[in-house]
Amino acid sequence: MPTITINGKKIEAPENATILETARENGIFIPTLCHNDGLAPYGGCRLCVVEIALGGKTTVETSCTYPVEEGLVVKTDTERIKRARRVIIGLLLDRSPKPVVIQDLASEYGITERPTRFSIENEHCIRCGLCVRACREIVQARAISFAGMGFERKVTTPFNESSSDCIGCGTCELICPTKVVDMRDLPDAQEHAPGDHESIGPVRNLDNWNTEFKVKVCKECGNPFYPAQPLEKFRQAQNLQPEFFDTCPSCRVTPRVDEELCVGCMGCAVNCPIGAIQMKQKDEEQRATIYREICTGCHYCVDKCVVGAIKLEEQNHV
């Protein structure tokens, strides 16, 4: 294990960890915007910059991407670092003045006036790329990506049209730090039919991606629970009974990981059709974690677990 120093404190860092991970493990706060523990390091926002000294040289680096190494000396809060963060926050505030997360950062770093270099109103997207990476790395759908260059760069679907790869899981909305991704579940949408409006039942709208899904209603409890079209796609891909998704995950038995038995082989994570399982570091071992918010309850992971560590829970509907 490499020994490093952060803010004067000697720390034994885990092999292959980043400075950010090591700092957080040891209760040292470094601000971030584009980092998420479930995603690969990205280094886009640069808010996590720290000063590092190694081999007689001092540089400023992004702590979320910089790996620890023996003898590294890190300072997270020097005047130089605070100045660098103020410049970054100032630029973000200029372009995206309304998101609460940006306003909070600005007041924390004593920025009272919005610079007016870009003069764009109401620009909420800060291009942190969390939605794009989550869609690709967690959901494995690749329904959205960056398009355009420089000032025009934005997150969108291919050709700005409704993407057939979107599964309406809402991960992009959940992970967005500025809440610019707008997902709306309407309990009873209306369709304009000749002479009248026709009810088409519950729908999920993801306006940013020009996508609308009809939502399946649970036959047991009557609650709308997940976009019908991707559910049918999973059902066919996994050769499940036609009625499998007639009930919602709350009315079905749902899988859970027995961490005592899990050997961290990743069989479940690799095979989960919507990427609802990720590997997480627990006590120096990798363990499977099921993201219940996006798990469809298909039970595919139960069949794929070679050591029987994924089990079905008792019915959990209340």
| All residues at 6 or more sequence positions from 305 whose CB lies less than 8 Å from its CB, including other chains | 267, 268
Task: Tell me the closest approach of the beta carbon of residue 93 to ligand FES, in angstroms.
Answer: 16
CA distance 96 to 98: 6
- Count of residues near ligand FES by CB under 6 A: 12
**Are 23 and 51 a contacting pair, CB within 8 Å?**
no
Residue number with CB closer to ligand FES (11 or 64): 64
Task: Tell me the closest approach of the beta carbon of residue 23 to ligand FES, in angstroms.
Answer: 12
Residue number with CB closer to ligand FES (66 or 300): 66
Interface mask toward ligand FES for 250-289; x: CB under 6 A:
----------------------------------------
Task: Tell me the closest approach of the beta carbon of residue 293 to ligand FES, in angstroms.
Answer: 23
Task: Tell me the closest approach of the beta carbon of residue 130 to ligand FES, in angstroms.
Answer: 10
Structure tokens at 59: 């540089």
Task: Tell me the closest approach of the beta carbon of residue 41 to ligand FES, in angstroms.
Answer: 7
Task: Tell me the closest approach of the beta carbon of residue 96 to ligand FES, in angstroms.
Answer: 15
| Footprint on residues 3-62 left by ligand FES (CB under 6 A) | 32-35, 43-48, 62
| All residues at 6 or more sequence positions from 229 whose CB lies less than 8 Å from its CB, including other chains | 168, 213, 214
Residue from 11, 64, 167, 269 that binds ligand FES (CB under 6 A)?
64
| All residues at 6 or more sequence positions from 66 whose CB lies less than 8 Å from its CB, including other chains | 18, 19, 50, 52
Residue number with CB closer to ligand FES (46 or 142): 46
Inter-residue long-range contacts of 48-51, CB under 8 Å, 24+ positions, other chains counted: 48/20, 49/81, 49/84, 49/85, 49/88, 50/19, 50/74, 50/75, 50/76, 50/81, 51/75, 51/76, 51/78, 51/80, 51/81
Residue number with CB closer to ligand FES (40 or 149): 40
Residue number with CB closer to ligand FES (19 or 248): 19
CA angle 290, 295, 298 (to 5 degrees): 110
**Are 185 and 215 a contacting pair, CB within 8 Å?**
yes
Residue number with CB closer to ligand FES (76 or 296): 76
Contact positions toward ligand FES, by CB under 6 A? 32-35, 43-48, 62, 64
